[in-house]
């Protein structure tokens, strides 16, 4: 296992202070030496006994969760259930106090930082759409493209014909082909959400984490988003965090309910909604 | 109707439009490079068209400030790094040049010591400190103009960006950095001339610094450095690297989550900017004839930020314009009403912040955009 799992004061100091610096040395310019993801056992994400505390509050309490290759999983739960913290752990923003997180069988997520995790093939969509408002739609996708992202390479980087095609294909997929040269800041809320999904796709991720994709969307936009997410699963695994139960019903095969940093229930939407524990948590709110 | 609108839009776009403003900038530099030597050296002194050497040097000073302003705009306007310590890099470049110029004085100093600069003789030092060796060679001194600020920026930036210090906290530690250097360079024991700094320069590469032609040569070197520095900044900002830098400014964590090592981008941009500032400082020193610790004063760095804000950040040429305009105003005010200058500067900053948030260039762009 990696050194990041170190416990105690020394471990904490190591994780907070020394490790980022060592990481900078170790990973310098090594984008091309990225290990190839191995998910041959059929599971793409292993979270085991993940615990995260903030000043004594346990945001995640020994959370254990597995996501299969090609699966579309919905995660629901009341506010404070730990949904966003879980995404933070997977994408390297938050380091857990205990537990392990593996991407496929061979990539230890706790040993990597955010850019490395993104390059390893995990894409994340935020709750609030965050696109680069001052760049054109096309440039947003260009910047999100998979490949070497070291500063020196990008000083002279030129788009190849293939890369242009890939951007064009993504523009088409998310329905923004006509808005290609528009400033991203001028897009509607729904279009920004799609652009952000398009940006994730340009990274050619194996796992997509999508935080509340339909918040603030019109019914038509919601429907299009559902179609889009369904079309993405299969080739990739998709994890969606969502409050909108109708939306969850329309896309999910398996739903995981989080509560107080733990998995409360897991199953099809009907099983979950019939579960007395789930009913209690939701009605008790 | 459409045709008319298109035509009306053209002059505006030619002058200040996104891609054409820089041609005007190059045009102005070219005109200066041709006219200034002509009017100073070829036109006789009595003529109304004659440009005094004093004015040539003053313009050279402004243009070295313009290069410093471009360096600040590169990190602030494009990457959102509000450095309030950029004159530290400027002064370090200046000191490297100053040390070379000191060694050129040789035995012509007041104490006529063939090896030691005057201030060392005065302090009763018997030998040259190790870090002063080699500065008598131009080819050894000039790399330090670039290396000293570059290395400081590399070390400082590595820690600051690695620790994800951003916004106002970063601005404050850049102020602390330049203030710490100010205090250090004040000390005589540092061996950089203490309070008085380095001055009384005689010649550069064998050319007499008090000669008109040398002054014009320094002016031309400044114009060339400004043009090259500007071109380099444009190349950077027009590349995909530049688009990543803008992305970092607008949505840093998003940039990180799509796989960019944000701190590396900030670091290299910051180092390059510091190097530009160092070059500007090296051009400034032989023209003004002195470098002392007051160049490190935090207030100077804040003034640079005001120049950039006045001219219009995120445009590069706007920063250069702001530097020249504000310094021209400063020269005029400090001669006519010295006590008013700081108030005028403060007022200028308020006016620009409230009424011209995009600076002069942004205002002109908007007006010309609206007119079409």
**Residues B116, B134: Cα–Cα separation, whole Å:** 13
Answer yes or no: is pLDDT of A67 > 90: yes
**Residues A206, A233: Cα–Cα separation, whole Å:** 10
Chain B: residue whose CA lies nearest to A27: B261
Which chain B residues contact residue A151 at CB under 8 A? Answer: 241, 244, 261, 264-265, 268
Which chain A residues contact residue B246 at CB under 8 A? Answer: 132, 134-135
- Give residues 322 to 361 of B whose Cβ lies within 8 Å of A: none
Task: Decide if B250 touches A, using CB distance below 8 A.
Answer: yes
Record: contact A154-B244, CB cut-off 8 A: yes
Which chain A residues contact residue B154 at CB under 8 A? Answer: none
Encoded tokens for A219: 């019914």
Listed in sequence order, the residues at least 6 apart from B264 whose beta carbon sits closer than 8 Å to its beta carbon are: A150, A151
The pLDDT, as a whole number, for residue B159 is 95
The Cα of A148 is separated from the nearest Cα of chain B by a number of Å equal to: 9
Q: Is B358 exposed, middle or buried (0-12, 13-18, 19+ CB in 10 A)?
A: middle
Task: Decide if A22 touches B, using CB distance below 8 A.
Answer: no
CB B73, CB B65: distance < 8 Å: no
The CA-based dihedral angle spanning residues B265, B268, B269, B274, taken in that order and rounded to the nearest 10 degrees: 160
**Residues A23, B10: Cα–Cα separation, whole Å:** 52
CB A77, CB A264: distance < 8 Å: yes
The pLDDT, as a whole number, for residue B236 is 94
- Mind listing the pLDDT tens digit for each residue in A92-114? 999 999 999 999 988 999 999 88
The Cα of A17 is separated from the nearest Cα of chain B by a number of Å equal to: 9
Percent of chain A beyond pLDDT 90? 37
The pLDDT, as a whole number, for residue B321 is 95
Average pLDDT per 10 consecutive residues for chain B, totaling 372 residues: 35 48 91 92 87 92 97 96 96 96 88 88 90 91 95 96 92 96 93 91 89 93 97 94 95 90 95 97 95 94 94 93 94 89 88 89 83 60
Which chain A residues contact residue B254 at CB under 8 A? Answer: 126, 130-132
Task: Decide if B15 touches A, using CB distance below 8 A.
Answer: no
- Going by pLDDT thresholds of 50, 70 and 90, the confidence category of residue A133 is very high
Closest CA to A76 of A271, A209, A226, A265: A265
DSSP-derived letter for residue A35 is: P
DSSP-derived letter for residue B207 is: E
Interface A–B counts its CB contacts (< 8 A) at 85
Which chain B residues contact residue A152 at CB under 8 A? Answer: 268
In this prediction the pTM is 0.84
Encoded tokens for B266: 């900030």
- Mind listing the pLDDT tens digit for each residue in A231-281? 888 888 999 998 788 888 888 888 999 998 899 999 998 888 888 888 888
The pLDDT, as a whole number, for residue B143 is 95
Closest CA to B314 of B217, B240, B245: B245
Region A115-134: mean pLDDT is: 88
The pLDDT, as a whole number, for residue A283 is 66
Listed in sequence order, the residues at least 6 apart from A250 whose beta carbon sits closer than 8 Å to its beta carbon are: A226
Chain B: residue whose CA lies nearest to A120: B259
Task: Decide if B258 touches A, using CB distance below 8 A.
Answer: yes
Record: contact B244-A143, CB cut-off 8 A: yes
Task: Check residue B202 and give left, alpha or beta (phi > 0: left; psi -120 to 50: alpha).
Answer: alpha
Record: contact A149-B260, CB cut-off 8 A: yes
- Going by pLDDT thresholds of 50, 70 and 90, the confidence category of residue A190 is confident
Interface probe with A: pick from B261, B265, B272, most Cβ of A within 10 Å:
B261
Neighbouring C-alpha atoms within 13 Å toward the C-beta of B271: 19
The pLDDT, as a whole number, for residue B288 is 94
Interface probe with A: pick from B239, B252, B259, most Cβ of A within 10 Å:
B259
The pLDDT, as a whole number, for residue B218 is 95
**Helix, strand or coil, per DSSP, at residue B353:** helix
Which chain B residues contact residue A203 at CB under 8 A? Answer: 258-259
How many CB atoms are located within 10 Å of the residue B26 CB? 13
Answer yes or no: is pLDDT of A126 > 90: no
Task: Decide if B24 touches A, using CB distance below 8 A.
Answer: no
How many CB atoms are located within 10 Å of the residue A261 CB? 23
Record: contact B260-A132, CB cut-off 8 A: no
Task: Decide if B206 touches A, using CB distance below 8 A.
Answer: no
Nearest CB among B246, B251, B259 relative to A149 is that of: B259
Region A198-222: mean pLDDT is: 89
CB B279, CB B225: distance < 8 Å: yes
Task: Decide if B159 touches A, using CB distance below 8 A.
Answer: no
Task: Decide if B268 touches A, using CB distance below 8 A.
Answer: yes
The Cα of A129 is separated from the nearest Cα of chain B by a number of Å equal to: 10
Record: contact B251-A119, CB cut-off 8 A: no
Task: Decide if B243 touches A, using CB distance below 8 A.
Answer: yes
Which chain B residues contact residue A155 at CB under 8 A? Answer: 235-236, 239-241
Task: Quote the strand ranges of B182-304, DSSP E.
Answer: 198-199, 203-204, 207-208, 290-291
The Cα of A145 is separated from the nearest Cα of chain B by a number of Å equal to: 8
**Residues B161, B265: Cα–Cα separation, whole Å:** 10
The pLDDT, as a whole number, for residue A3 is 41
The pLDDT, as a whole number, for residue B257 is 86
Chain A: residue whose CA lies nearest to B267: A151
Interface ipTM > 0.90 = no
- The secondary structure of A206-260 as a DSSP string is SEEEEE-TTTT--HHHHHHHHHHHHHHBTTBEEEEE-S-HHHHHHH-SEEEEEET
Encoded tokens for A148: 């070497």
Q: Which residue has the tokens 């200034």?
A: B36
Helix axis angle for B167-186 and B298-311, nearest 10°, is 130
The pLDDT, as a whole number, for residue A8 is 54
Record: contact A21-B162, CB cut-off 8 A: yes
Which chain A residues contact residue B244 at CB under 8 A? Answer: 143, 149, 151, 154
CATH architecture of A37-283: 3-Layer(aba) Sandwich (3.40)
- The pairs formed by B306-310 with CB atoms below 8 angstroms and a separation of 24 or more are B306/B345, B306/B348, B306/B349, B306/B352, B307/B65, B307/B69, B307/B72, B308/B69, B308/B72, B308/B73, B308/B76, B308/B77, B308/B359, B309/B349, B309/B352, B309/B353, B309/B359, B310/B348, B310/B349, B310/B352, B310/B356, B310/B359, B310/B360
Which chain B residues contact residue A118 at CB under 8 A? Answer: 256-259
The pLDDT, as a whole number, for residue B370 is 67
Which chain A residues contact residue B260 at CB under 8 A? Answer: 115, 149
Closest CA to B125 of B117, B114, B133: B117
Number of helices (H), then strands (E), belonging to chain B: the values are: 15, 4
Task: Check residue B123 and give left, alpha or beta (phi > 0: left; psi -120 to 50: alpha).
Answer: alpha
The pLDDT, as a whole number, for residue B29 is 95
Chain A: residue whose CA lies nearest to B160: A21
**Residues B356, B76: Cα–Cα separation, whole Å:** 17
Task: Decide if A181 touches B, using CB distance below 8 A.
Answer: no
The pLDDT, as a whole number, for residue B17 is 45
- Give residues 96 to 125 of A whose Cβ lies within 8 Å of B: 114-116, 118-119, 123-124
Question: Which is more confidently placed, B99 or A41?
Answer: B99
Task: Decide if B257 touches A, using CB distance below 8 A.
Answer: yes
């Amino acid at each position: 296992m990696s050194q990041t799992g170190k416990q105690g004061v020394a471990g904490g100091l190591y994780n907070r202070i020394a490790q980022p610096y060592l990481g900078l040395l170790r990973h310098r310019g090594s984008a091309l030496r990225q290990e190839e993801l191995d998910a041959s056992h059929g599971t793409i994400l292993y979270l085991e006994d993940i615990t995260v505390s903030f000043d004594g509050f346990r945001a995640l309490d020994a959370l254990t969760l597995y996501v299969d290759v090609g699966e579309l999983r919905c995660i629901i739960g009341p506010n404070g259930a730990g949904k966003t913290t879980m995404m933070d752990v997977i994408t390297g923003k938050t380091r857990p106090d205990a537990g392990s997180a593996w991407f496929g069988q061979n990539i230890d997520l706790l040993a990597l930082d955010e850019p490395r995790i993104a390059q390893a093939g995990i894409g994340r969509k935020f709750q609030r759409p965050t696109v680069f408002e001052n760049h054109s739609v096309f440039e947003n996708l260009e910047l999100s493209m998979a490949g070497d992202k070291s500063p020196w390479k990008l000083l002279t980087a030129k788009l190849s014909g293939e890369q242009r095609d890939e951007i064009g294909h993504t523009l088409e997929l998310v329905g923004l082909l006509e808005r290609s040269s528009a400033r991203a800041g001028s897009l509607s809320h729904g279009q920004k959400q799609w652009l952000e999904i398009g940006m994730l796709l340009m990274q050619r991720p194996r796992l997509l984490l999508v935080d509340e994709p339909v918040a603030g969307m019109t019914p038509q936009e919601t429907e299009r988003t559902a179609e889009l997410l369904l079309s993405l699963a299969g080739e990739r695994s998709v994890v969606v965090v969502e409050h909108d139960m109708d939306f969850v019903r329309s896309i999910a095969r398996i739903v995981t309910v989080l509560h107080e940093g733990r998995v409360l229930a897991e199953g099809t939407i009907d099983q979950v909604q019939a579960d007395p524990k789930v009913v209690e948590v939701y009605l008790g709110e | 109707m459409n045709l008319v609108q298109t035509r009306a839009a053209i002059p505006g776009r030619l002058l200040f439009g996104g891609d054409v403003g820089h041609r005007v900038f190059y045009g102005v530099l070219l005109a200066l490079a041709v006219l200034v030597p002509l009017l100073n050296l070829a036109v006789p002194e009595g003529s109304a068209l004659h440009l005094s050497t004093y004015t040539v040097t003053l313009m050279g000073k402004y243009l070295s400030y313009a290069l410093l302003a471009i360096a600040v705009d590169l990190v602030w306007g494009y990457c959102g790094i509000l450095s309030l310590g950029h004159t530290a890099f400027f002064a370090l470049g200046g000191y490297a040049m100053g040390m070379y110029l000191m060694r050129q004085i040789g035995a012509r100093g007041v104490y006529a010591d063939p090896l030691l600069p005057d201030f060392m003789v005065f302090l009763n030092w018997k030998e040259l400190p190790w870090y002063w060796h080699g500065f008598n060679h131009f080819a050894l001194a000039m790399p330090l103009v670039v290396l000293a600020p570059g290395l400081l920026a590399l070390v400082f930036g590595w820690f600051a960006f690695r620790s994800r210090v951003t916004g106002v906290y970063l601005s404050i530690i850049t102020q602390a950095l330049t203030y710490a250097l100010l205090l250090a360079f004040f000390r005589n024991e540092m061996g950089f001339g203490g309070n008085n700094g380095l001055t009384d320069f005689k010649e550069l590469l064998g050319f007499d610094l008090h000669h008109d032609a040398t002054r014009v040569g320094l002016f031309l070197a400044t114009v060339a450095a400004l043009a090259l520095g500007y071109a380099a900044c444009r190349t950077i900002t027009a590349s995909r690297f530049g688009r990543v830098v803008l992305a970092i400014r607008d949505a840093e964590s998003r940039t990180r989550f799509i796989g960019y090592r944000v701190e590396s981008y900030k670091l290299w941009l910051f180092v390059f900017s510091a190097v530009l500032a160092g070059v500007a400082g090296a051009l400034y020193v032989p023209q003004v004839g002195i470098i002392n610790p007051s160049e490190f004063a935090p207030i100077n760095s804040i003034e640079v930020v005001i120049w950039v804000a006045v001219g219009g950040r995120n445009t590069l040429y706007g920063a250069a314009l702001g530097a020249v305009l504000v310094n021209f105003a400063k020269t005029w005010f400090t001669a006519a009403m010295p006590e008013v200058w700081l108030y005028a500067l403060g007022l200028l900053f308020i006016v620009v912040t409230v009424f011209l948030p995009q600076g002069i260039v942004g205002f002109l762009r908007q007006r010309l955009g609206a007119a079409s």
